[in-house]
Amino acid sequence: MKILLVNPPNSGKNIIEEKYGISLIRETFKGEPLSLEVLAGNLREEAVDIFDMKADNTPYEQKLKEFTPDLVGITAMTCEANAALRILKETKAYSPKIVTVAGGIHATINPEFFNQPFVDYVVIGIGKKTLALLVGYLKHENELKEIPGLGVQNNGKFCVSPQKTRQEDLLEEVLPARELVKKYKSAYYLNNFNISIDFVDTAYGCTNRCSFCCLWSITGGKYLAKTPQAVVRDIGFSESFCVRLVDANTFGNSRRAKEIASLIKQNRINKLFVVDARADTIARQPELIGIWKEIGLKAVVVGFEEIEDIGLRGFNKRTTADINTRAINILHENGINIIGDFIVSPEYEETDFDKLSDYVGKHKIELPGFSVLTPLPGTPIYEQFKEQIIIDNLDYYTLTNAVIRTKLSEKRFYQRLGQLYKRFYSQSLPKRLLSRLIFNETAIKTIHSAKKQLRRVFGC
């Protein structure tokens, strides 16, 4: 069977830029569509191609003509859901014979959204096994009723088959089909730094229940971690000098985190790592940061979200402001850069912006991110805020827009948001950070790929 897996184009919209002409001077990263590579890895008997519309300007119809797929599968986050629908509609219009499948985060938290005449199936959750079973069904190898986590029309009613995600659903023996995105390699880079980064998936889901987050729903609230051996194997296959471990909390299980570090050392893997970690994990196990620093940890993404206990409680974050501060200190004592996420509520007043700006400045967060609180459908805060939503168009659910009414005037709210970015993302930042975040003398001397990157960046 010929299967085309599609990563939809950038389709999110930003009011701050569109309406107020304020540019968010910040780093953007065009990452590889790892989730599609993972799906493709489990379909090796089929003729699969990945069409990354974020990296490839080929008109979609031309791609359909050239590849002639039997099945088109698309993955989408909430802000890409409309774009995914448009593409699936275009697919059916091009040929009603092509089987259309929607999957990804938005399909998982809101499968009904894809209940459309031009969408044949909706895949929920991780999807690796479900999609392979669906392909088997289409080839008359198994029964539809045996497939868990599949949304389909049944006698005019849209039904989703039950699913209990388990460890074996990770199918970790199956390698991601990285070769299918090799053609786009040059597009996967940090714009300002011109550095490419590979993604490696290490675990899925989360046991926490932060009220704004939809990540945990992928596994029904479980944290399903790949074995250290599988993680290190995948790191070994990555070609880039920098590796981003994609995971809600890479250090969530300290024994496993230590084992991964030890295997990286044993295998003499010389790479720089960026990981995600919760502040409470860092505060509880500071030794892990030291261990990982030794094997190349350069930056940690931490979702601080709020700077006061009351806000953290409101998000059910299960941390405190004191824990956040301890985590910041531990990371800085170890020379690790912090990519810190903060949530800006549309209910912010002038003083709230002042306090957040002071906090980030005082704690010297190297790369702060300011997400606007967005009630994503399917999350607890959606229920809390749904009556106050003034923008329904999911194109604006990019976490940069106030989709509920702002307390300040809308213009003032975006001015203050723009000021946060302006303060922490001055023009000189990229090169300064480049030297701190990516390179150090030893790495430059010993790692050939770093030399190549250096030549590309500085033209030397």
For residue 432, the minimal CB distance to ligand SF4 (Å) is: 29
Buried b (16+ CB within 10 A) or exposed e, 184-197: beeebbbebbebbb
**Tokens of residue 45, six digits:** 């008997």
Site size with ligand SF4, rule: CB under 6 A? 10
Largest CA distance in the chain: 66
What residues between 49 and 68 interact with ligand SF4 by CB under 6 A?
A: none
What residues between 198 and 237 interact with ligand SF4 by CB under 6 A?
A: 206, 208-210, 213, 215-216
Q: Binding of ligand SF4 at residue 128 (CB under 6 A)?
A: no
- Alpha helices for 54-104 (secondary structure H): 60-67, 81-94
What residues between 239 and 278 interact with ligand SF4 by CB under 6 A?
A: 248, 278
For residue 344, the minimal CB distance to ligand SF4 (Å) is: 16
Spell out the residues 6+ positions from residue 407 whose beta carbon is closer than 8 angstroms to its own: 346, 347, 348, 349, 413
For ligand SF4, what does the binding mask look like between residues 277 and 296, x meaning CB under 6 A?
-x------------------
For residue 278, the minimal CB distance to ligand SF4 (Å) is: 5
Residue 337 bridge partners (DSSP): 299
If the CB atoms of residues 34 and 210 are measured against ligand SF4, the closer one turns out to be: 210
If the CB atoms of residues 209 and 233 are measured against ligand SF4, the closer one turns out to be: 209
What residues between 394 and 423 interact with ligand SF4 by CB under 6 A?
A: none
If the CB atoms of residues 74 and 343 are measured against ligand SF4, the closer one turns out to be: 343
* Cβ-based neighbour number of residue 333 at 10 Å: 11
Q: Binding of ligand SF4 at residue 359 (CB under 6 A)?
A: no
For residue 215, the minimal CB distance to ligand SF4 (Å) is: 4
For residue 213, the minimal CB distance to ligand SF4 (Å) is: 3
If the CB atoms of residues 216 and 353 are measured against ligand SF4, the closer one turns out to be: 216
Inter-CA distances, 199 with 39, 76, 134, 272, 313, Å: 15, 18, 26, 12, 32
For residue 270, the minimal CB distance to ligand SF4 (Å) is: 29
Q: Binding of ligand SF4 at residue 303 (CB under 6 A)?
A: yes
For 303, counting Cβ atoms within 10 Å of its Cβ (0-12 exposed, 13-18 middle, 19+ buried), the class is buried
Nearest to 327 by CA among 318, 317, 345, 340: 340
For residue 322, the minimal CB distance to ligand SF4 (Å) is: 18
If the CB atoms of residues 278 and 326 are measured against ligand SF4, the closer one turns out to be: 278
If the CB atoms of residues 138 and 248 are measured against ligand SF4, the closer one turns out to be: 248
Question: Position of tokens 């209910």?
Answer: 347
Q: Which helix (H) or strand (E) holds 324?
A: helix 321-333
Task: Supply the Cα-derived Rg of the chain in whole angstroms.
Answer: 22
If the CB atoms of residues 209 and 456 are measured against ligand SF4, the closer one turns out to be: 209
- Alpha helices for 210-296 (secondary structure H): 228-237, 254-266, 279-284, 286-294
If the CB atoms of residues 196 and 217 are measured against ligand SF4, the closer one turns out to be: 217
Residue 243 bridge partners (DSSP): 198, 273
Give the strand order in the sheet containing 297-305.
Answer: 189-190, 195-201, 242-246, 272-276, 297-305, 337-344, 367-372
Q: Which helix (H) or strand (E) holds 72?
A: strand 71-75
Nearest to 300 by CA among 270, 333, 345, 268: 333
For residue 81, the minimal CB distance to ligand SF4 (Å) is: 19
For residue 219, the minimal CB distance to ligand SF4 (Å) is: 11
For residue 303, the minimal CB distance to ligand SF4 (Å) is: 5
If the CB atoms of residues 213 and 454 are measured against ligand SF4, the closer one turns out to be: 213
If the CB atoms of residues 216 and 414 are measured against ligand SF4, the closer one turns out to be: 216
For residue 308, the minimal CB distance to ligand SF4 (Å) is: 17
If the CB atoms of residues 211 and 449 are measured against ligand SF4, the closer one turns out to be: 211
List of E strands, 135-236: 150-154, 157-160, 189-190, 195-201, 203-204, 224-225
CB 366 within 8 A of CB 299: yes
Residues near ligand SF4 (CB under 6 A): 206, 208-210, 213, 215-216, 248, 278, 303
